[in-house]
Amino acid sequence: RDILRMVVDPIVMDGRKVTASGRIGIVASVDTKTESGETLRQAEAALRRASAKAPRSYVVHDRKHDALERARESLDFDLSQALGRQQLHLAYQPIVELASGSIIGAEALMRWRHPVRGELQPSTFVPAAERTGTIVQLDTWALQAALREAKSWPEDTLLAVNVSAVQFRQPDFVASVFTELAATGFPAGRLELEVTETVLMREGRETEETLQDLIAAGVRIALDDFGTGYSALAYLARLPHHRIKLDRVFVKDLANPATAGLIEAVVAAARDRDVMVTAEGVETTDQMEAVRRIGFTHAQGFATGAPSCSPAMVLPGSLPQAAV
Ligand code: C2E
Ligand code: CA
Ligand code: CA
C-alpha cells in the first residue's frame, strides 16, 4: 500500500500537476527450491490479474489462483486445437410452429467432445472462445457444418445458426456467409441467423448495414435471448429482423400474471409488425398452454424436443407430436 501511495501521489512537472496510476501484482516466494523462472512466471500472472482491477489496487497471487489460471490457459489451448482435431459437432433442436403443431426447422447448437472432460456445453467454452477470439473460427465452422448437414433436410425446413457478437462484427462476416451459402447451394431464405442483444447494442450504421445486407440476400434474422439485455425498445424499432426469441427466464415466469401480461403485449406488438415470436425453454405442458394462449408463433424447449445429435430425430415426420 505504501508503494502504491508513492506511485500515485501527484508530482509537479513544468508547473503542472501530474498523477500516475499503478497496480501491483504480488507473489510470495518462500520456498527456496522454486526456480526463479517459475517465480517470474507467477509474478507475470499476478500482474495480469492486477491489471484487470481498478487503478491503485494490488493482487496477491497464490497457488490457488495459479491453478485456476493454468486451467484456463489449458482450456484456451485445447479449444484452439479442437477444430483441427475434429472434436466439435452440432446438436439440433426442433423449432415447432404452434398453429400447425409441426416442426418447421431446427437450431444448430455447438458441442465439444473434449478428450478428457467429455461432452461440453457451449456455456463452458463459448465465453472463453469469445475472449480469445477463437469464436471466429468456431462460428465459421458451425455455419459451414450446419449448411452442409441441412442440405439433405426436407425442403422448406428452416436452419437456425447462432452468431456470436465477435463474429458478427468481423468486417468480412457478410461476405463469409454468402461464400458458405454459395459453396453449399443452401437456399438463403431457409437460413436464419440468431444474434443477441449485445450485437445490436453497438450503435452506428455498421450493425444496421450488416443486417440489411444479409436480409437483402434473403437471410432471416432472429433476435436471440430477447428481454435479457438493455435497450430493447430502441433497437427493436430501428433494426430489421424477422423473429424475436423470448428468453426462457420469462417462459419460466408465465404463471405470474404480471409477467404474462407484459409478455402478451410484447408478443402482440411483434405480431402486429409481422415479426415471429418464439418462446424459448418451454418445458411443461402448462407452459406450452400458456405460450399458445399468449399468442407466440413458435416454441422451442424440452416439451417439444431437446437438442439431439441426430438431425433425423428432430426433423418433420420423425417426432411424436403428442407434446404439441
Ligand atoms: P441459446 O441460443 O439461447 O440456445 C438455447 C439453449 O437452451 C441451448 O443450450 C439449449 O440446449 C437450451 N434449451 C433448449 N430447450 C430448453 C429447455 O426446455 N429448458 C432448458 N433449461 N434449456 C433448454 P446450449 O446448447 O447449452 O447453448 C447455450 C448457448 O450457447 C446458446 O444459447 C447460444 O447462445 C450459445 N451457442 C450454442 N451454439 C453456438 C454456436 O454455434 N455459436 C455461438 N456463437 N454460440 C452458440
Ligand atoms: Ca439461439
Ligand atoms: Ca436464446
Given a cut of 80, whether residue 312 has pLDDT beyond it is no
Give the residue, by CA position, lying nearest to ligand 1 atom 28.
122
State the pTM of this model: 0.86
Give the residue, by CA position, lying nearest to ligand 1 atom 45.
162
Q: Which of 107, 162, 251, 291 to mutate to test the pocket of ligand 1 (most atoms within 8 A of CB)?
A: 162
The pLDDT tens digits of the residues spanning 263-300 come to 999 999 999 999 999 999 999 999 999 999 999 999 99
Ligand 1 atom index nearest CA of 130: 44
Q: State the pLDDT at residue 239.
A: 85
The pLDDT tens digits of the residues spanning 66-100 come to 888 888 889 999 999 999 999 999 999 999 999 99
Give the residue, by CA position, lying nearest to ligand 1 atom 35.
122
Strand 276-280 and strand 243-246: pairing?
parallel
The rounded Å distance from CA 34 to ligand 2 centre is 48
Instruction: Write out residues with Cβ below 6 Å of ligand 1.
Output: 93, 109-110, 121-123, 126, 135, 139, 142, 162, 164, 194, 224-225, 248, 280-283, 300-302, 307
The rounded Å distance from CA 12 to ligand 2 centre is 55
Q: State the pLDDT at residue 291.
A: 97
**pLDDT mean over 251-256:** 94
Q: State the pLDDT at residue 232.
A: 62
d(CA 197, CA 207): 11
The x, y and z cell numbers of residue 255, run together, are: 404463471
The rounded Å distance from CA 109 to ligand 1 centre is 6
Give the residue, by CA position, lying nearest to ligand 1 atom 30.
122
The residue among 70, 25, 55 whose CA lies nearest residue 43 is 25
Q: State the pLDDT at residue 231.
A: 56
Given a cut of 60, whether residue 324 has pLDDT beyond it is no
The x, y and z cell numbers of residue 118, run together, are: 467429455
The rounded Å distance from CA 145 to ligand 3 centre is 20
Ligand 1 atom index nearest CA of 303: 18
Lowest mean pLDDT among 33-42, 162-171, 196-205, 263-272: 196-205
Give the residue, by CA position, lying nearest to ligand 1 atom 8.
109
Dihedrals φ, ψ of 151, to 5°?
-60, -30
Ligand 1 atom index nearest CA of 194: 2
Give the rounded distance of the alpha carbon of 298 from its chain centre: 21
* Residues constituting the chain: 324
Angle at 224 between CA 107 and CA 91, to 5 degrees: 20
Q: State the pLDDT at residue 261.
A: 95
- The CA radius of gyration of the chain, in Å to the nearest whole number, is 25
d(CA 157, CA 161): 13
Q: Angle of helix 285-294 relative to helix 257-272, nearest 10 degrees? A: 50
Write out the H or E segment, with its range, that includes residue 68: helix 63-82
The pLDDT tens digits of the residues spanning 36-75 come to 888 888 899 899 889 888 888 999 988 888 888 888 889 9
The residue among 265, 257, 305 whose CA lies nearest residue 107 is 305
The rounded Å distance from CA 265 to ligand 1 centre is 25
The rounded Å distance from CA 44 to ligand 1 centre is 36
d(CA 81, CA 163): 21
The pLDDT tens digits of the residues spanning 217-232 come to 999 999 999 888 765 6
Q: State the pLDDT at residue 310.
A: 74
β-strand partners of 193: 161, 221
d(CA 143, CA 132): 19
77 with 116: CB under 8 angstroms? no
